[in-house]
A and B are shown apart, each in its own frame.
Chain A
Amino acid sequence: QKEVEQDPGPLSVPEGAIVSLNCTYSNSAFQYFMWYRQYSRKGPELLMYTYSSGNKEDGRFTAQVDKSSKYISLFIRDSQPSDSATYLCAMSDPYSGGYQKVTFGIGTKLQVIP
């Protein structure tokens, strides 16, 4: 079993839809949770970063963490064609001592259709 599971998609939605992207994980030591957006042939860009359970909102984006279920989500409201990209979840254990390895999901490819 992989430490982080993420459905690769592709996920196609109409413009204006609410998008829900999800990851599950098995390592209960993970405390930091991140979402990256990666456009085709580009480097990943950090979108959201959260340390605790609950919700964190930034504009049209909401990151949600449920540590009891080992489940994290990224919601995109009023999705736009410019949101079409691959979204990677990432997480790490800050108390592992020394180097904190970041573990990435495989990425979900999202297409928002005008």
Chain B
Amino acid sequence: DGGITQSPKYLFRKEGQNVTLSCEQNLNHDAMYWYRQDPGQGLRLIYYSQIVNDFQKGDIAEGYSVSREKKESFPLTVTSAQKNPTAFYLCASTGRDYNEQFFGPGTRLTVL
């Protein structure tokens, strides 16, 4: 079955640590995205990538970094510079029609 996987499902981080969230898709989609979802704020775009080895900042990129070395993979690193990282993180991808975004199951990050 084609789809998007994210791991881990739950992640706990101590203050000052960097953590990396995994996102893999087997939909052969070119574009991939990372969103952050907080209660009462909806989805906010962190980073997006339209092709391999290229990515762009979204609306709230500070404190985050990404890489896109393979078409299937778009990992997100939450660095210690992100002051309020506790949130639900969602990865998405789109095919040639950039408008229909398909989402993974999400990773819930909690800072202890």
Contact = CB atoms under 8 A, between A and B. Distances in A.
A and B: bona fide binding partners: yes
Contacts of B31: 99
B95 interface: no
Interface of A is mostly: loop
A60 interface: no
Given A8-B40, A34-B99, A106-B40, A42 B50 contact: no
B64 interface: no
A90 B108 CA distance: 22
Interface string A23-59: 0000000001010100001111110010000000000
Given A46-B102, A100-B99, A41 B108 contact: yes
Interface residues of B, number: 23
Contacts of B90: 43-44
Contacts, number: 52
Nearest to B88: A41
A43 B104 contact: yes
Nearest to A105: B42
Interface string A76-114: 000000000000101010100011111011110000000
Q: Taking each of B90, B99, B104, which has the highest tally of chain A beta carbons within 10 Å of its own beta carbon? A: B99
Contacts of B100: 34, 46, 49
A104 B92 CA distance: 13
Interface of B: 4, 6, 31, 40-43, 45, 48, 50, 56, 88, 90, 98-106, 108
Interface of A: 8, 32, 34, 36, 41-46, 49, 88, 90, 92, 94, 98-102, 104-107
Given A41-B108, A88-B42, A99-B56, 10 more contacts: A8-B40, A32-B99, A34-B99, A43-B105, A49-B100, A94-B98, A98-B50, A99-B48, A102-B99, A105-B42
